[in-house]
Amino acid sequence: MLRTEQIEINIGPQHPSTHGVFRMVVTLDGEVVTKVEPRVGYLHRGLEKLAESRTYTQFIPYTDRLDYLASIQNNTGYVLTVEKLLGVEVPERAEYLRIIFCELQRIASHLIATGCNSLDVGGWTPFEFCLRDREKILDLFEMTVGGRMTINMTRIGGMPEPPEEFWPALRTFVNEFPRSIDEYNGLITGNEIFQARCKGVGVVSQELAKAISVTGPNLRATGIKWDLRKDAPYGIYDRFDFDVPVGETGDSFDRYYVRIREMEESLKIIKQAMKDIPEGPNFAKVPKVVKLPAGEVYHRVENPRGELSFYLVSDGGMKPYRLRIRGGTFVNIQVLSHIVPGWKFADLIAILASLDIVLPECDR
Amino acid sequence: MENDILQKQMEELALKLNGEYEQSLDIPVLKIKGARISEALLAAKNFNQTPCEILHDVTAVDYPDRNEIEVVYHLSSFTGPYMIRIKATIDRDNPVIDSATKIWAGADFPERECFDLVGVQFSGHPNLKRILLWDDFEGHPLRKDYVVPSIEERKILRAVKPGE
């Protein structure tokens, strides 16, 4: 009788397949994973502590550094929280601009998720295709505010006005992008190797998703139809006509495919917003020094990586008394230790890629 | 409609648990003593018609002038747009509260973070260790009396332990 022994190995924090600075302690029995323990915190910068010594306006650029692939949405989430307590009415045009840029950002973020997912199961080419298309979106951002990744765009009470040449460029992108989605479907979705690696792997059940409070595309992949943009709309999302794509089984493939379909829905929203956007001012009148009344406010927004929410406690001063940031990744990452045991080591990498994590949002 | 039902149930729960009920912007808030938190969370999870079955967030706020820490729970649902907030007050010198990990497995990381940054002890938590900061860090940075050490006195490199 052969004696077998479990071994414990360490992956990360610096490892290309952990998508940033993430560490896992994995127990293996041969090639089968028996236990995974996620270790986070390597990117902790103390943003919640820093917020207590910054004014409300000064903190906006810090929110860029939460989920760096969705910086406009982080800005918008934070700004909406402040505006909710301040009671500012944002002009129509700014609301529409926010929708357009948030949805562009969602597509850019899902492109990275799609590309990395394919990359981690061995397909290099689709990753390049995804980056090629994301580049066009980043160019649109650069045209408007000069930045590409952490661009600090949303302001309290408004949104910067894009230049003249932005609109034709956006139109070109919107017209060309459906063809790119067809390309991904041909390259990744229909790929036999990709399907073999992802179908039925790493299933998140609805019960588990509820127990962990998983949010975002990872939740919708399990079949639960819950999208804040539709079910608890903020901003002007209730004016747009779009679907909420859901998966069937909650496996890696569903998590991937929900994102592809979400990009199509985002495109729909952008098209409607481009058509309906009114002329007019893009800034509300906001005092130069923002002072919030004493009180508490909680606001959540739908980010590409789940619900991002801010809990702001104000004591009436110029700085927050306490700012709590709840990121999607920090909560979603907990499913890893529930779904991975029983799968082979190589599947662990594929499952992690399909969860689409971004560590700065997790560690704050 | 949903909000009315939710408010009524929150008021009843406040009465039952000897707590206070208030409305803060769009969220109903229940304020209770820390010892009754498990009852409150379980009751909210099983509300009629408006169950708050999702633990959206756990956090804590330090109030040194009242000598209290408030552990703040936000519960939501995947069936409706409503949300509730439950605030449990605990003593600042003896910050112990029941863990919610038995009710929601997902309470694990947020509770560890509360322990790490604010120093709340969750009794019954299976693995209450620091999560964001390193293990031999001293103090809890989100306490209001925490002094951020100057860059000169900050220990950037961790001391090597014997046997490493």
Cβ separation of A297 and B25 shorter than 8 Å? yes
Q: Considering only residues 279 to 298 of chain A, which have any Cβ-Cβ distance to chain B shorter than 8 Å?
A: 295-298
The chain B residue lying nearest A52, using CA atoms, is: B142
Q: Residue A225: what are its φ and ψ, rounded to 5°?
A: -90, 90
A356 close to A215: Cβ distance less than 8 angstroms:
no
pLDDT of residue B2: 67
Amino acid type, A342: G
The pTM assigned to this predicted structure is 0.88
Residues of A in contact with B131 (CB under 8 A): 40-41
Q: What is the rounded (10 degree) CA torsion for B35, B37, B39, B41? A: 180
Q: SS3 sequence, A141-192?
A: HHHHHCCCCCCCCCECCECCCCCCCHHHHHHHHHHHHHHHHHHHHHHHHCCH
pLDDT of residue A89: 86
Q: Does B15 touch chain A (CB under 8 A)?
A: no
Neighbours of A79 (CB within 10 A): 27
Q: Which of B61, B74, B106 shows the shortest C-beta gap to A313?
A: B61
Residue A13, preceding bond cis, omega within 30 degrees?
yes
A155 close to A79: Cβ distance less than 8 angstroms:
yes
pLDDT tens across the length of chain B (164 residues): 567 777 787 777 777 777 788 888 888 888 888 888 888 888 888 887 788 888 989 999 999 898 899 999 999 888 888 888 999 999 888 888 988 888 888 888 999 999 999 989 898 888 888 888 888 888 888 888 888 887 777 766 666 777 76
CA atoms of B59 and A4, how far apart (whole Å): 44
pLDDT of residue B161: 75
DSSP A325-362: EE-HHHHHGGGHHHHSTTSBHHHHHHHHHHH---HHHH
Look up residue B76 and give its two tokens: 């939501």
Positive or negative torsion for Cα A228, A230, A231, A235: positive
Query: pLDDT tens digits, residue range A45-86?
Result: 888 888 888 888 889 999 988 888 888 999 999 999 988 888
Helical (H) or strand (E) element with A295 = strand A295-303
DSSP A14-51: B-GGGSSB-EEEEEEETTEEEEEEEE--TT---HHHHH
A355 close to A334: Cβ distance less than 8 angstroms:
no
A117 pLDDT exceeds 80?
A: yes
What ipTM score was computed for the predicted complex, to two decimals?
0.85
Of B38, B31, B30, B36, which Cα lies nearest the Cα of B124? Answer: B38
Query: pLDDT tens digits, residue range B40-64?
Result: 888 888 887 788 888 989 999 999 8
pLDDT of residue B77: 86
Q: Does A300 touch chain B (CB under 8 A)?
A: yes
Q: Considering chain A, what is the average pLDDT of its residues? A: 88
A295 close to A315: Cβ distance less than 8 angstroms:
no
Beta partners for residue B83, in sequence order: B76
Q: Considering only residues 80 to 139 of chain B, which have any Cβ-Cβ distance to chain A shorter than 8 Å?
A: 80-81, 83, 85, 104-106, 108-110, 113, 117, 130-134
Size of interface A-B (CB pairs under 8 A): 89
Q: Does A210 touch chain B (CB under 8 A)?
A: yes
Q: Does A84 touch chain B (CB under 8 A)?
A: yes
Cβ separation of B78 and A322 shorter than 8 Å? no
Query: pLDDT tens digits, residue range A326-337?
Result: 988 899 999 988
Q: How far is B143 from chain A (nearest CA, A)?
A: 9
Residues of A in contact with B44 (CB under 8 A): none
Q: What is the rounded (10 degree) CA torsion for A161, A167, A169, A173? A: 110
Average pLDDT of the residues in A144-156: 87
pLDDT of residue B156: 64
Q: Residue B51: what are its φ and ψ, rounded to 5°?
A: -70, 135
pLDDT of residue B157: 65
